[in-house]
Amino acid sequence: MEFTVLTAARSGETLGARWNEIDLAAKVWTVPADRMKAHREHRVPLSTRGLAILREMQTVLHRNDDNAYVFPGRKPSRPLSNMAFLMLLRRMDLDDLTVHGFRATFKTWASERTSFQNEIAEAALAHVIGDKVEQAYRRGDLFEKRRRLMQQWATFCNTAPPQESPSNVTPLHAS
């Protein structure tokens, strides 16, 4: 689930991730168009922590199959269940949260706590930006700007809240 939060991905995108979509050297995850809501390929810049999670998964899996799932289910030929995240939140007594809600949290954080343009956060969420005319002229995907945004997001997610924070704040990752 942490990887999903750090990449601002939809659950299904993460659950369906395969190793042949990941380029650790380039620090990018390329989600194919057929798994994207907008039916367009989406390049996801990977933060330092996101890369660490992938490296942990490599050591756990001991597998050299490029087509294998990054987060396999009980059977290596099947992805992790879409109930896995929901059950994790329940076990953490956080049943009032949803994984998809972290995308809204990301957008709110980007809007209120950073100076990144709205288009960069929207591109990070893989949303279609602008009307048809603007889309026709938009040739890039703001990748390098998104890379900086996603690293800042990962830093934010993995930084303990100040001592005066409410007691109901749960850190995403315990150090």
The per-residue pLDDT for range 103-157, each reduced to its tens digit, is: 999 999 999 999 999 999 999 999 987 767 676 666 678 999 999 999 999 999 9
Please tell me which residue in 10, 18, 27, 145 is annotated as part of the active site.
10
Q: Is 90 an annotated catalytic residue?
A: no
Structural domain includes residue 16? yes
CATH number for 106: 1.10.443
Tally of structural domains, the chain: 1
Active-site residue (options: 40, 63, 90, 100): 100
CA distance 78 to 56: 19
The reply to whether 137 belongs to the active site is yes
Does the annotation mark 49 as catalytic? no
Asked whether residue 122 is assigned to any structural domain, the reply reads yes
Among 37-41, 98-102, 126-130, 138-142, the minimum mean pLDDT is found in 138-142
For 44-76, what is each residue's pLDDT tens digit? Answer: 999 999 999 999 998 877 566 778 899 998 887
Can you give the three-state secondary structure of 11-64, one letter per residue? HHHHHCCEHHHEECCCCEEEECHHHCCCCCCEEEECCHHHHHHHHHHHHHHCCC
Q: Give the span between the Cα atoms of 60 and 68, in whole angstroms.
A: 13
- 100 part of the active site: yes
35 has catalytic annotation: no
The residue assigned the tokens 């690293």 is 151
